[in-house]
Amino acid sequence: MRIVFVASATVALLAVSPAGSATRPAPPALIAKGIARADLTPTEKADYTAVLARARAEVQHLPAARADLLRTVVADVAAQWRSYTRPRALVLFSTLAFNERWLAEHPAEGSHPDLTADDGVVYRFFWSHGYVFHPLANFAKLNELAANGDDEDASRLAQALLARAIPNGRGLVWEYEFPFASGRAPWTSGMAQAVAAQALARAGDLLSDQTLLEAADAAYAAVPGLLSSGSPVKPWVALYSFDRVPVLNAQLQAALSLGDYAELTGDSDAQAFADRVTASAQTLLPRFDTGYWSRYSLHGDDSPLHYHDYVIALLRKLAARTGDAGWSETADRFLAYESQPPVLRLGGIPATIRRPAPAKFRFWLSKTATVTLRVGKAVLSGTVGHGSHTFVWEPKGAVPGTYHPRLTAVPVMGPSIQKTLPPVKIARKAPTRR
């Protein structure tokens, strides 16, 4: 329900203006205005107007949670009303149509696996945005289809992706048409571009399609514009165009994908670039190792488990490709972290507490875990990452006496650990002097 509330608030912000200001047009009105001014064919304008009409009609009959989610998809389409180029409009309105159909028959709650439309396009679910066109998921699927020799499905998806490509100088990019984290739509991904070059080259080779091979070259041409300027080692392929902090899985995947693209196309310059990307990853790799887990980004938090496993798989592929045992050694070390208990180091623990003063229990944790402090009947718990943390206990109703606190840490993988803390005495409140 919290996510749905956020979605509703987003729509409200789009529809309500501050007191005394001119009323901002509602999202459907902005969309209609955008369609009218866009450089689209009469058929496209009619089709997209019909999509909007169906969504507006459907939202009147849906249960509240589904209606709120569909309104948010409408708001995402409206946010770009000034820039409905043909490929961008295709992405936005096909996404709106997909969500309108899906929400008519499915609850917003529950599991949300990737779904495939009739044209082969993959849609991925994001809370507050519904099912969205996701370039990386689509090119990963195209890679899979081409690698398996599925001519028909690979051709259908490849053509759908070409129709959604955005010209960018001499390159082509595939945009994410929804806001994410600090990024406003549209945004792009260097990692997705590298996978696009790989997948399009593989599909072009399978289908003997020169158009796809040229699109692969154009996807690759956009990668140098999506590098991390802040990386201490270069080149580093950025995961997000709006936040170019080095991310480990993005660089490792880009190294593999660019290497495949270079091999498929016979491009020696691309091979040299892929080798430099691989060398940069190897140089900076130790800084993504905390000694207990992998970091998701440089100076960032621990990787979530599925990204940690993803990195392990990428490291093994690089070991097989390069013949360098260093990659597999790091993969083995990262895998071993999953079977090791977290390390808990105790900090300052109060010996005596006078009610109602709060007591601070400080500790250091080696890797992400759900940590629970038990003091008498009181239970404090939270999921925290690598580093120093503090639990604050307010023993307002605690009976005076000696308590024996316990601290437990349960990691995302591996055995848990429990520590018995030094005893804590709850003293009676000192009498008030008159």
Give the C-alpha separation, 187 to 119, whole Å.
23
Residues 316, 242: one domain? yes
Residue 416 maps to which CATH number? Answer: 2.60.40.10
Same domain? 274 vs 162: yes
Q: Is residue 11 part of a domain?
A: yes
Residue 129, in any domain of the structure: no
42 and 141 share a domain? no
Q: Tens digit of pLDDT for each residue in 274-305?
A: 999 999 999 999 999 999 999 999 989 999 99
Residues 296 and 352 in one domain: no
Domain-located, residue 46: yes
Look at the chain and report how many structural domains it folds into: 3
Kindly report, residue by residue over 91-135, the tens digit of the pLDDT: 999 999 999 999 999 999 999 999 999 999 999 999 999 999 999
Q: Quote the pLDDT of residue 429.
A: 64
Res. 7: pLDDT tops 50: no
- Give the end of a domain, one of 109, 126, 142: 109
pLDDT at 433: 56
Q: What is the pTM of this model?
A: 0.90
Res 336: pLDDT = 98
3-state helix, strand, coil in the chain (%, to 5): 50, 20, 35
Residue finishing a domain among 279, 306, 338: 338
129-169 per-position pLDDT tens digit: 999 999 999 999 999 999 999 999 999 999 999 999 999 99
Q: Is residue 146 part of a domain?
A: yes
Residue 353 and residue 235 share a domain: no
Residue with the bigger pLDDT between 308 and 404: it is: 308
Residues 356, 331 share a domain:
no
- Domain check: are 93 and 177 in the same one? no
Q: What whole-number percentage of the chain has pLDDT above 90?
A: 84
User: Last residue of some domain: 338, 366, 400?
Assistant: 338
Please say whether the beta carbons of 257 and 271 come within 8 A.
no
Say whether both 327 and 368 belong to one domain: no
Ramachandran bin of 3, using left for φ above 0, alpha for ψ from -120 to 50, beta for the remaining angles: alpha
Q: Residue ranges of the alpha helices (H) in 25-132? A: 27-37, 42-59, 64-78, 86-103
Q: In what order do the strands lie in the sheet with 406-411?
A: 378-384, 369-375, 406-411, 417-420
Q: pLDDT averaged over the chain?
A: 92
pLDDT higher than 50, residue 309:
yes
Provide φ and ψ at 382, rounded to 5°.
-175, 155
What CATH number did the domain enclosing 191 receive?
A: 1.50.10.20
Would you list the DSSP string of 312-324? HHHHHHHHHHH--
pLDDT for 16 beyond 70: no
Measured in degrees and rounded to the nearest 5, phi and psi for residue 47 equal -65, -45
For β-strands 406-411 and 417-420, DSSP reports them as antiparallel
Q: What is the rounded CA–CA span in Å between residue 401 and residue 424?
A: 8
Q: How far is CA 191 from CA 37, 73, 350, in A?
A: 33, 25, 49
Q: Would you say residue 114 lies in a domain?
A: no
Beta bridge partners of 417: 409
Domain identity same for 289 and 410 = no
Length of the chain: 434
- Whether residue 128 lies inside any domain: the answer is no
Contact between 219 and 200 under an 8 Å Cβ cutoff? The reply is yes
Q: Which two tokens stand for residue 316?
A: 């093994």
3 and 45 in a common domain = yes
Instruction: Name the more confident of 179 and 403.
Output: 179
How far apart CA 7 and CA 179 sit, in angstroms, is 12
- Mean pLDDT, rounded, for 379-399: 90
Question: Does any domain span residue 116?
Answer: no
Task: Report yes or no on 165 lying in a domain.
Answer: yes
Residues 370 and 416 occupy one common structural domain: yes
Domain that holds residue 85: 1-109
Residues 333 and 352 in one domain: no
Cα 64 from chain centre = 27
Q: Which residue has the higher pLDDT, 396 or 332?
A: 332
Whether the per-residue pLDDT at 75 is higher than 50: the answer is yes
